Amino acid sequence: MTDQPEKLDLISHNLPADKTAELLRLFPEIRTEGDKIDFDKLKLVLGQTVDVSKERYGMTWAGKADCFKTIQAPSTGTLLPAPDESVDFDTTENLIIEGDNLEVLKLLQKAYLGKVKMIYIDPPYNTGNDFIYPDNYAESLQTYLEYTGQVDDEGKKFSTNTDTDGRFHSRWMNMMYPRLYLARNLLSDDGLIFISISDHEVAPLRSLMNEIFGEESFSAQFVWKSRKYPDSRAKTGVSTDHEYIMLYARSQTGVLRGVERDETKFANPDNDPRGEWMSRSLLGLATKSQRPNLHYPIVNPITMHTFTPPENTGWRYSQDRMQKLIETGCILFPDKPDGRPREKKFRADLQNEFVAFASIIDDVFTADGTSEIRELFGEDVFDFSKPSSLIHRLAKQGMDEDSIVLDFFAGSGTTAHAVLDLNKEDNGSRKFILVQLPEPTENKDFPTIADITKERVRRVIKKLSDEEAGQLPMGEVQDRGFRVFKLAESNFKGWDASAPKDGAALAQQLELHIDHIREGQTSDDILYEILLKSGFPLTTPVEKIELEGKAVYSVAGGGMLICLEKELTLEVIRAMAEKKPQRVICLDLGFAGNDQLKANAVQIFKTKEVVFKTV
């Protein structure tokens, strides 16, 4: 019987272990000693579905193998709360996270797995001037800490990807692949991902998405007319007036909502007892050679005028159904024999309130996004921001009224702007998670793009609240806030496996771990790292209570208790156990020098069937 509590795992979600466990669950016969996989047996089990040929359709590039190493490398970082930079930190469910998105995506895996309904990203278009990722992207956290001055700079930096580099496209794909792979895990089963892109990388992006999401998950490639007026400066003589928005679904259940049907088209001028109706074309899409059964004459039973469809279209319906429509007065015949019959379609017969969302968007432009920034800030603090009305439109299609949208290339914060606007429009409670690298700017008021992100959202919140001042019903308050978190190294010192193995170095390592909490870390810093790495979202309700004179955090209505006291007592252990939470987490430091108390705690919590861990 053990008298030692289980240790809380301080690294990010282990994706390879998850996939291995799923394979072993589906095919238990492939299990070997140590819960490893026998691939020869797996091939036998799968039989002819295994492709063993050397030549096959696929995509490869320089560095692809390293992408998987990057994905599988766990994160030991954390997200530190920044209440002073937030709006309504204690109550809001919106997040703005400052940090490298690769590392942040890893840290979100456990708490947000399958919880995001929509992702929208506007990644670097790889034009040669984009400020996009570390030179050594595999060392993301260390590079980021050096870049932001949190540890000594060893020359690591984030950089552009110039076209003089021999692996121009490969470097961009090496940046995108791990991020898209990790992002897919966060989507709900009916989740959708929208990605803005230009001609530079639209083909590689499509191939990346086919590999990560599956070609069957492709939904659409929207064409967005981003430029209102032609570019007379174009060196090729062609004004590139468009960009693309690529849409993939997590599964076949992920579909767009559709556009509300235009009710103004319905009327009842002839007082038909069947109600309001509209006139619509009877023509189909098939030529006579394709569908000869849809090419036949129809006769007006009153005038006896005969009508035939064009050779290249035919009618919409078969001859039998057309005859029934004629008999029930659902065909509108023209007065003249050279006219075209139309269908009388009744509002009551329509099965759907919506029509399909068009794949061409041509009524909102980049200039609108520039105007929004100028109006909010009084100056041009960010170039080429997407207009919020564009993201508003996508969010209305891709989100439920209470779901989460993630944007991990947040830029100026357009996605948050759009969500706040949309919630105001329909009284929804959609939530946003933005992730933005603190990329330097040349603006002294906003030193980084992350500063612009936060300030834009603050100003949008103020604008919306000012517009509604005194108009909302008593007690009705929308969530117009956000919690700021910042990527940093863990609050807990990790064991340095690279340190020298001599006695003096080992003694120093052991001395450091007597108190393994880094200096200067607050209780809130530690609390949110434990929440995140225990699988709780960063917006989980937390109440600070007192038990036997000790501070205890009650998480999710008492589902988990966290005690960060450095001097634990038997009384507080018993008090926590009596509340019968599912889990309890304490600092290992709280038991320092008292092995008997730790052993008692293990047995007390075990008796109450409470999972007990220390950190």
Most confident range (mean pLDDT) of 14-23, 153-162, 349-358, 560-569 is 560-569
- Helix, strand, coil % over all residues of the chain, rounded to 5: 35, 20, 45
For residue range 196-228, what is the model confidence (pLDDT) as tens digits?
Answer: 999 988 999 999 999 999 999 999 999 999 999
- pLDDT recorded at residue 495: 54
- Band (55; pLDDT cuts 50, 70, 90): confident
Residue 281 phi/psi, 5-degree rounding, is -65, 145
Question: Is residue 2 very low, low, confident or very high in pLDDT (cuts 50, 70, 90)?
Answer: low
Segment 18-26 mean pLDDT: 83
Summarize the confidence of residues 535-558 as an average pLDDT.
Answer: 96
pLDDT digits (tens, 9 = 90+) for 360-371: 999 999 999 999
What confidence tier does 474 reach under pLDDT thresholds 50, 70, 90?
low
Higher pLDDT, 25 or 396: 396
- pLDDT band at residue 162 under the 50/70/90 scheme: low
Neighbour-count burial for 342-376, b at 16+ CB within 10 Å, e otherwise: bbbebbeeeeeeeeebeeebeebbbebbbebbeeb
pLDDT band at 134 (very low <50, low <70, confident <90, very high): low
Task: Tell me which CATH code domain 80-259+356-487 carries.
Answer: 3.40.50.150
The arithmetic mean of pLDDT across residues 271-279, rounded, is 93
pLDDT value at residue 144 = 83
**For residue 505, what pLDDT is reported?**
53
- Select the more confidently predicted residue: 28 or 318: 318
Alpha carbon distances (Å) from 487 to 101, 120, 156, 437: 9, 21, 17, 10
pLDDT band (50, 70, 90) for residue 156: low
Domain boundaries, the chain: 80-259+356-487, 263-351, 503-614
- What's the CA gap between 1 and 548, in Å, rounded? 28
Mean pLDDT of 411-417: 97
Across residues 474-494, what is the average pLDDT? 89
Confidence of residue 296 (pLDDT cuts 50, 70, 90): very high
Least confident of 132-141, 283-292, 349-358, 558-567: 132-141
**What kind and span of H or E run contains 193?**
strand 187-197
Kind and range of the H or E element at 125? none
pLDDT > 80? residue 56: no
Residue pair 369/385 in contact (Cβ under 8 Å)? The answer is yes
Place of tokens 């895996």: 109
**What is the model's pLDDT at position 31?**
86
- For 547-569, the pLDDT digits (tens) are 999 999 999 999 999 999 999 99
